[in-house]
Amino acid sequence: MENFLKIVDTGYSINVKSDYKNDNKINSYIPVSKNLKLADKIWNDILNKKSSSYIISGAYGTGKSYFTAILSHILSKNFKLDQIEIFSKIAKEKYVEISEKLEKLEKENYLIVFPEDTIPNFKESVLLGVQRSIKENNLDISLNTEFDLVLEKIKNWEKNHPLFYNWYLDELKKLNLSNEIFINAINNKEKKHYEAFKTIYSNLFAGESFSSLNSLKGISEILEDFEKKLIEEGTYKGVIYIFDEFGRYLESHIETVDVKEVQDAAEYCNGFNNSALILVTHKDIFQYTRRLSKKDNINEWEKVSGRFKKEHLSFEKTNILEIISHTLNKNAVHYYKYKDENKVFF
């Protein structure tokens, strides 16, 4: 049997964040017809700036993470058409329009952002993911939230904490800076001065790091600001936020997650823009509300669920047969020998 089966070792599980760049796993994916159509639907929404907030759900073993990794890879700047031979070959055989779209997608680079799933605050988890992507991809982008919060801090010290404000002025003197020059630099979003403030803050608070994640800006405004700066940077057409295992995230943090932040993020990505939000779960998000005590909270999650397009992957025998039809090499001599010796099964 091994002589006419294409056997590929991809490991026992898929982690979207790490595996969407794994060429071996990406080129080992065998798409079934249903998943090809779904991928085409999602790509079409994203490319045409249609509603692009999705929940991709499915039980363990249905391939939702693998499918999402393929989606991510093909949308990312890592995608090269000649590196997905299996996917491309099957797409050409079944759907010519999808094959043509792959050629277009090769030229459309999107930044893939993975929110930090250990942070119970949804907005902060997204912001950490954004900041990590900025750093990993060497992007010269600073979110407005960083500079705005610096100004808020300085104003608060001046008004309510004169001792800290005077210490801050002393630190500026060490850097040969006046408060007026420094404030103007922060207003102009100068990264060098933002880094200087982080050092000053650490000196004032015994080594504590300055964090801009608690900005008063809403998540929609933050996403819009980031998308605008990303497009201006010139490398990417837009940004795709992918929250793998979002169901597990809710199981751990649903009591602290601000439901409005999830709703606002979904509504933003459903607008006419270059952002998309994909949540990967085992079931619909409102079904994770059993730990909530107030009925109003449960109702809010049900409303938020309605902001997303729902796509459910399921285990189907026809999918297995379709995959087998692509893995069996029917031209091999050993296949025909096996078939002749086992005619009763054919």
Binning pLDDT at 50, 70 and 90, where does residue 92 land? Answer: confident
Q: What is the mean pLDDT of residues 64-76?
A: 93
pLDDT higher than threshold 70 for residue 330: no
Nearest to 130, CA basis, from 223, 212, 231:
223
pLDDT of amino acid 5: 37
pLDDT of amino acid 294: 76
Residue type, 307: R
pLDDT of amino acid 7: 39
Binning pLDDT at 50, 70 and 90, where does residue 279 land? Answer: very high
Packing angle, helices 295-305 and 259-269, rounded to 10? 10
Lowest mean pLDDT among 14-23, 243-252, 269-278, 287-296: 287-296
Is the pTM higher than 0.85? The answer reads: no
pLDDT of amino acid 301: 92
The string of pLDDT tens digits covering residues 198-217 is: 999 999 998 888 877 656 67
pLDDT higher than threshold 80 for residue 156: yes
pLDDT of amino acid 272: 94
The string of pLDDT tens digits covering residues 1-31 is: 333 334 344 455 788 998 999 888 888 888 8
Structure-block tokens of residue 62: 């249905």
pLDDT higher than threshold 50 for residue 97: yes
Instruction: Output the CA torsion 283→285→288→292 (10° steps).
Output: -170
- Tell me what percent of the residues of the chain surpass a pLDDT of 90: 51
Alpha helices in the chain (DSSP H): 16-19, 23-26, 33-47, 64-75, 85-94, 96-105, 122-136, 144-160, 162-174, 179-187, 191-204, 219-233, 246-253, 259-269, 295-305, 317-327, 333-341
The string of pLDDT tens digits covering residues 225-245 is: 999 999 999 999 999 999 999
| Spatial distance between the Cα atoms of 237 and 232, rounded to a whole number of angstroms | 9
| Spatial distance between the Cα atoms of 241 and 127, rounded to a whole number of angstroms | 11
pLDDT higher than threshold 80 for residue 331: no
The string of pLDDT tens digits covering residues 159-182 is: 999 999 999 999 999 999 999 999
Q: What is the mean pLDDT of the chain?
A: 86
Binning pLDDT at 50, 70 and 90, where does residue 95 land? Answer: confident
Alpha helices in 12-52 (DSSP H): 16-19, 23-26, 33-47
- Tell me what percent of the residues of the chain surpass a pLDDT of 70: 88
Exposed (0-12), middle (13-18) or buried (19+): which is 260, by Cβ within 10 Å?
A: middle
Q: What is the mean pLDDT of residues 266-281?
A: 96
Are the beta carbons of 181 and 163 closer than 8 angstroms? Answer: no
Q: What is the mean pLDDT of residues 103-130?
A: 91
pLDDT of amino acid 328: 60
